[in-house]
Amino acid sequence: MQLDLISAFVIGLLGAGHCIGMCGGITTMLTTAIGANNTKKTKFIVLYNVGRIFSYSVLGAIAGFTGSLAVKQMGLPVIVLKILAGIFLILLGLYIARWLLLLNYIEATGKALWQKIQPLSKHLIPVNTANKALGLGVLWGWLPCGLIYSTLTWSIASGSALQGFLIMFAFGLGTLPALLTVSFGATKVKSILSINWVRQLIGMALIIYGIITLKFAYQLLI
């Protein structure tokens, strides 16, 4: 379990470039809308991210519970779920490196749900209270994202709602450094992570991690 939490945190860190590409515009827009009040800006940025990570964690709990039902009710071996997690990690690496974009199709499956959730944001804009900032962060966490969906496979394979919750919480913490730096105006980080060879290096690291995951799963089979 501890290894799964560390893995999820590392995936969040390595996915920094994708996080900034996917959510950087959102966080910049939200931060700009707050104005020049630094105290208020810091408070709202923290609340955006608290809400976002909470939503990831809830998704993780749902995925973990679903995985536990698949194991207990359907008799699906946990090892199959572990293999699925390894495959998705490889797909994520290929996706971030832009060598193979299969996760685009998986992101598309989440758009139907997002279209139902997104209109709720109209009630939270303009963001002029702490509750609105937190609420908008909660909605933001449901944005369709291949990085999130790939990590959710770890929650599915975790075997319980609590472990699934903790895995996605750890993932959310891993995404924090990238989005916080952009929120506070560190645009240099964004330009570095958008460099082709940097993306490919990160993608390769995730692919290797996925292969190691599959190797561990295979060793449990034999």
Q: What is the mean pLDDT of residues 161-178?
A: 93
Q: What is the mean pLDDT of residues 187-196?
A: 72
C-alpha–C-alpha distance, residues 114 and 39, integer Å: 31
45 pLDDT above the threshold of 80: yes
Structure tokens at 219: 């060793």
pLDDT reported for residue 61 = 96
pLDDT band at 37 (very low <50, low <70, confident <90, very high): low
1 pLDDT above the threshold of 60: no
Domain boundaries, the chain: 2-221
pLDDT above 90 covers a percentage of the chain that reads 24
Lowest mean pLDDT among 21-25, 140-144, 146-150, 158-162: 21-25
Q: What is the mean pLDDT of residues 133-150?
A: 90
Q: What is the pLDDT of residues 81-110, one digit of tens each?
A: 888 888 999 998 998 888 988 888 888 888
Q: What is the residue-wise DSSP string for 103-138?
A: HHHHHHHTHHHHHHHGGGGGGG-S--SHHHHHHHHH
pLDDT reported for residue 13 = 86
Q: Vertex 85, ends 139 and 105: CA angle to 5°?
A: 55
Positive or negative torsion for Cα 152, 112, 177, 16: positive
pTM above 0.75, yes or no: yes
Per the prediction, the chain carries an average pLDDT of 84
Positive or negative torsion for Cα 169, 6, 92, 106: negative
Contacts 24+ apart (CB under 8 A), 115-123: 117/142
Instruction: Identify whether 126 is preceded by a cis peptide bond (ω within 30 of 0).
Output: yes
Contacts for 118 with CB less than 8 Å, ≥ 6 apart: 139
Q: What is the mean pLDDT of residues 6-31?
A: 76
Buried b (16+ CB within 10 A) or exposed e, 120-157: eeeebeebeeeebbbbbbbbbbbbbbbbbbbbbbbbbb
Q: What is the pLDDT of residues 56-85, one digit of tens each?
A: 999 999 999 998 888 777 767 778 888 888
pLDDT reported for residue 2 = 67
